[in-house]
Amino acid sequence: MGVGLSQRLVPDELWSLVAPLLPSFASRPQGGGTAPCDERAVFTAVVYVLTSGCAWRHLPETFGVSPATAHRRFSVWTQGGLWRRPHRAVSDELGARGELDWTSAITDAASVRTKKGSLTGRNPVDRGKKGSTLHMPTDAQGIPLTLGMSGANVHDSQALLPQVLGTPPIRSPRGPPRRRPGRLRADKAYHSTEHLKRLRGRGVVPHIARPGIESSERLGRHHRKIERSISWLFGYRRLTVRYERKGTHLLASLGLTATPTSYKKPTKPTTRDKL
């Protein structure tokens, strides 16, 4: 595997956050068995599969990891709930540096074409085709805070409160960890009296477009930020069309793609963001 490709997929700083979270290899006391693999090579191979969208069996030999080993380790890490931890570690690191913008959160959803598996449903706006829906609130810059997946038959609004109010505590530069944004921005699909009441009760000021009164375009540059983040996630081609049969594997893929997406956070506002 080329050093340049390895560094591009998993830079040293990102690996330093992920490495302590991986379960250590335990050798057999009686000897024999499978020799341990280089953990960074395995993790990088998994990220490559998510990035390229290739089947596991098409993993290039240059990674020094067999397709069976890469898929097996991905399954073991998934069963151990690893997919949540790297994203959480990156979020904590950004939070501790003061690089998360809690002035507001932005939430939106996106459809994922589905071939099979759980967490699917018939999409009412796509001729009843089976699909899944990605739900994601971000900070004011578009950095993912949490992610979730549901069947396409679940209305976007049903994921609002669990996602926004269920954000895990994230480290702050000073003081206790933080989990609530100052405001929440969303389009009219998320508007309901119950949502407004619950958000205000948790100290979050809702800025949700009102159906029949305000256009979702009112979100302007804020909506463009989360659309940009969703496009970054779908830049990992393994997510554009779902081939994973197990819902847990799909959620694992989401968590792992959110990790480098958050790490490669936006550093400067674009011209469109300033409009």
* pLDDT for residue 113: 75
Q: What is the pLDDT of residue 33?
A: 46
Judged by average pLDDT, the poorest of 71-75, 78-82, 205-209, 270-274 is: 270-274
Is 87 a residue whose pLDDT tops 70?
yes
Model confidence at 122, pLDDT cuts 50, 70, 90, reads confident
pTM of the model: 0.81
Q: Give the pLDDT of residue 251.
A: 83
Contacts 24+ apart (CB under 8 A), 266-273: 266/141, 266/142, 266/143, 266/225, 266/228, 272/221, 272/224, 273/221, 273/224, 273/225
d(CA 30, CA 219): 63
Residue 58 — very low, low, confident or very high, per pLDDT cuts 50/70/90? very high
Is 268 a residue whose pLDDT tops 70?
Answer: no
The pLDDT of residue 215: 59
Q: What's the pLDDT band for 219 if we cut at 50, 70, 90?
A: low
Q: Which residues contact 26 (CB under 8 A, 6 or more apart)?
A: none
The mean pLDDT value of the chain amounts to: 82
- Residue 93 pLDDT > 70, yes or no? yes
β-pairing, 183-186 vs 205-208, is parallel
Asked which of 53-67, 83-97, 123-137 is least confident by mean pLDDT, the reply is 123-137
Indicate whether 55 pLDDT > 80.
yes
Residue indicated by tokens 């081609």: 237
**pLDDT the model gives residue 269:** 44
Residue 242 has pLDDT above 90, yes or no: no
Give the confidence band of 125 by pLDDT, cuts at 50, 70, 90. low
Report the alpha-carbon distance of residue 180 to residue 103 in Å, rounded.
9
Q: What are 88's two structure tokens?
A: 């959480």
Mean of the pLDDT values across residues 124-143? 82
> Residue range 210-234: average pLDDT?
75
Mean pLDDT throughout 186-197? 90
Cα 218 from Cα 216, distance rounded (Å) = 5
Residue-level pLDDT at 181: 93
Identify the residue whose tokens are 């970054």: 232
Burial 164-186 (b: 16+ CB within 10 A, else e): bbebeebbeeeeeeebebebbbb
